[in-house]
Amino acid sequence: MKIKMYNILYLLPNYNINGGTPKKTLDLIRKSNNNCFVYVWSNDHNEFKYLFENSKANLYEGPFGRNIIKHLSYLLKIIDKHNIQLAQTQFSFGELLGYLLKFNRPKLKVIIAFVGPFSPNGIKKMIANQIYKNTDAFVFISNYVKKEKMISFPLLKNKYSKLIYNGTDIRESEKCNYQKPEGEILILAISGLIKIKNIQVLIKCLEILQKKVTSKVKFRVAGDGPLHDHLKEMIKERNLECYFDLIGYDDNIGGLMTLTDIFVHPCYDEGFGIAVAEAMIAEKPIIVANAGALPELIENEKTGLIVDPFKAEEWANAIIRLKNDKIFANQLAHNAKKKAEAEFSIEKFVANYEQLYHKLLN
């Protein structure tokens, strides 16, 4: 049977695959059966542009800053030229673009994907309400995000929506520059350095571990953000520079995962947690915060351990437990891998979107 192909336009803020949205859009394009078009509304992170160029997507860029009229004019030309049937967008600026496209081309189907639980206030919330009234469908990346959004915007309860968990696969692994000493326990977090990611609790946790275990414990955090200097100062004040590394963004996540003994994710307001899914599929013992969508990914005592996001003592005790009971840790990791392959695979992620497109366009 011939597979029907659609013309799909993805609106993105940039090419930064270190951010979850561009990465999963790239995955979607690579696996999709459709004709894919990408419109990027800023010039940030062009170092990743080649990945999109090497995909089958047709790329367009709108270097117009916040000039919504120029963006709209350019996008309408793209839609008319390529007979675009559906546009998918996210974030407040992208939502506004989608709304204006729908207003000017009523036959165009528009999907808004909610990538986090946060909602605007005041006049921005009023604008969002108007946008959502005229949007064809919504995607929630977790039940947690769905619940939070429907509390903020009750009208969403009567709109067509679909829960689609993010998908991932095993990261390609290159030889890691880090030489792990024998007997060292290496703990990895992949996270932006912002307040809600809660990296500070790991620094306090390491202080406790140094008093409780004789083995050398080392934390590595892959990611960057505005709290970098503050966290660096916390580490220095506690004389932990040799044991806690903020390594910035690292392209070799696969290599880091290979060396890692335990993966941790302390975020206290996580919409999904793609890094957790990556650790699951890499078959690593995992500890996450009992917050946000993380309990949807990790089942306590079965696929990982769940602890209070703010209690450093609980993080330390969970790490010690996994260190001392390798059989238990390996069983958790094995169960996590099986769950990730079943629920968070790229194939399932793409199939869910393909079903959504087919429903909207037929």
Q: Is the model's pLDDT at 141 over the cut of 90?
A: yes
| Pairwise CA distance, residues 125 & 129, whole Å | 6
Residue 62 belongs to some domain of the structure: yes
Instruction: Please give the structure tokens belonging to residue 248.
Output: 């910035």
pLDDT for residue 190 is more than 50: yes
Instruction: Identify the CATH number of the domain in which residue 336 sits.
Output: 3.40.50.2000
pLDDT beyond 90 at 254: no
Of 77, 65, 71, the residue nearest 89 (C-alpha):
71
pLDDT category at 145 given cuts 50, 70, 90 is very high
Nearest Cα residue to 264 out of 227, 219, 231: 219
Examine the domain organization and report whether 103 and 241 are in the same domain: no
State the Cα–Cα distance between residues 124 and 113, nearest whole angstrom: 18
Domain encompassing residue 146 = 7-167+345-361
Is 254 in the same domain as 264? yes
Q: What is the mean pLDDT of the segment spanning 51-74?
A: 94
* CB-count burial class (<10 Å; 0-12, 13-18, 19+) for 82: middle
Same structural domain for residues 310 and 357?
no
Provide the domain count of the chain.
2
Same domain, yes or no, for 32 and 122? Answer: yes
The answer on 12 and 145 residing in a single domain is: yes
Lowest mean pLDDT among 14-23, 24-33, 46-55: 14-23
Buried b (16+ CB within 10 A) or exposed e, 26-61: bbbbbbbebbbbbbbbbeebeebeebbeebebeebb
Residue 44 has pLDDT above 80, yes or no: no
pLDDT tens per residue across span 212-221:
988 899 999 9
Separation of CA 304 from chain center: 19
pLDDT at residue 173 in the model? 65
pLDDT in tens, 263-319: 999 999 999 999 999 999 999 999 999 999 999 999 999 999 999 999 999 999 999
239 in a structural domain: yes
pLDDT band at 56 (very low <50, low <70, confident <90, very high): confident
Instruction: Give yes or no for a contact between 340 and 347, defined as CB atoms under 8 angstroms apart.
Output: no
* Amino acid (1-letter code) at residue 304: G
Residues 90, 205 within the same domain: no
